[in-house]
Amino acid sequence: MTKKLLLVDDEKSVLESLQRVLRPARHDWETTCADRAEAAWDLLCRSEFDAVVTDVKMPGMSGLELLRRIRQSDDTRDLPVVVLTGLTDHDLKRRALELGASDLFNKPVDRGELTARLQNALEWKDRQDQMKAQLDRLREERRRQDAAFARRRLADVCRLAAAAEYRDETMGNHVVRVAYYSRAVAAELGLEEPFLEAILLAAPLHDIGKIGIPDAILRKPGPLTPGERAVMQRHCVIGHQILTDQSPVVAMLSADCPDLLHREAPYDPVVELAASIALTHHEGYNGQGYPLGLSGTQIPLASRIVALCDVFDALISPRPYKGPLPEEKALKVLEAESASHFDPAVHQAFVRALPAVRAIRERFDGPAADFWNMPGDDA
């Protein structure tokens, strides 16, 4: 492939001399001339070149300023630049090297030496271009893998949350609403987009542990006895075990097949967040919750957010043992529990997010099928 060289000098005789020097390589190198650095910069902004040979002392913009602009631009910063000068100013040469000159020559140039050094510079640029192309291919492949992983992760989250919902069909889109409420509250708290995405995906699994609760307790139409309540509270630990591969079944199988079970178990921050929420979303800000008795900021922020959103949606939704509360009364319950059961800052953010919460409630006030119909692994 023909290489494009840009020759820059304010003296026409020098440009003609450079073209004569490079003429033996004219089948491989195409030369373009500019008699001012400003004109050269304009050409570089409009066209692609493989190397620049420039004088230093020129009217207007100097060769050093041209070099500085080349190195500061994302489009040209890797372009080889050979600096020519008839000066013996060593400080000027030092400045050229500090600005990123690829090579320095005193005028008049030696034909063989200039050709050889330009060839080296062009070969270096070829290697740089090849590495960049390879890096771009790797980035694109990583992007495709990340997108595929995100689709699989979302499908897995939906399947797990749907499994919990099927155990308690009266809950409808409860976990979906809690997820979207939680994201809205997190946004009001000023949290960044990665956290908003993570809590949206993790929150639906907050009650995954209810899979392990007997139907007689899970669907009981009346109040639970103290013993039944203790069993119900175990869903936090069960959910954490499910999401962290700590279930007894996994433990027994791991003893005989450790490599098979853990060969491909990459770290997933969303699953880790879901496990944390499952374990701690019933902790109380005043330390009176369960199962660990955590208080204040000992409770993960995501769990403090989900805890309030979970209670709000439970209050305004029908259950086998109660009817729904009007929103006004539910909000009064949350206010009364702020600073005792709920984080006050989370409660204030929830109040600010009420317009979004109401829109979410209206959007997901039907059967759960709409949300669970998510694309599968091949989508």
| Catalytic machinery residues | 210
Contact (Cβ atoms closer than 8 angstroms) between residue 374 and residue 187: no
Q: Is the peptide bond before 59 cis (omega within 30 degrees of 0)?
A: no
d(C-alpha 73, C-alpha 8), whole Å = 18
Q: Which helix (H) or strand (E) holds 1?
A: none
3-state secondary structure 37-86: HHHHHHHHHHCCCCEEEEECCCCCCCHHHHHHHHHHCCCCCCCCEEEEEC
Cα gap 15→25, rounded to integer Å: 16
Residue 102: its H or E element: none
Token pair in block for residue 320: 């086998």
Q: What are phi and psi of 209, to 5 degrees?
A: -65, -15
Distance CA 124, CA 13 (A): 29
Helix ranges (DSSP H) in the chain: 12-22, 37-46, 63-72, 90-98, 111-167, 174-188, 193-202, 215-218, 226-233, 235-243, 248-256, 258-262, 269-280, 301-315, 327-337, 344-352, 354-363, 369-372
Site of tokens 């006030």: 365
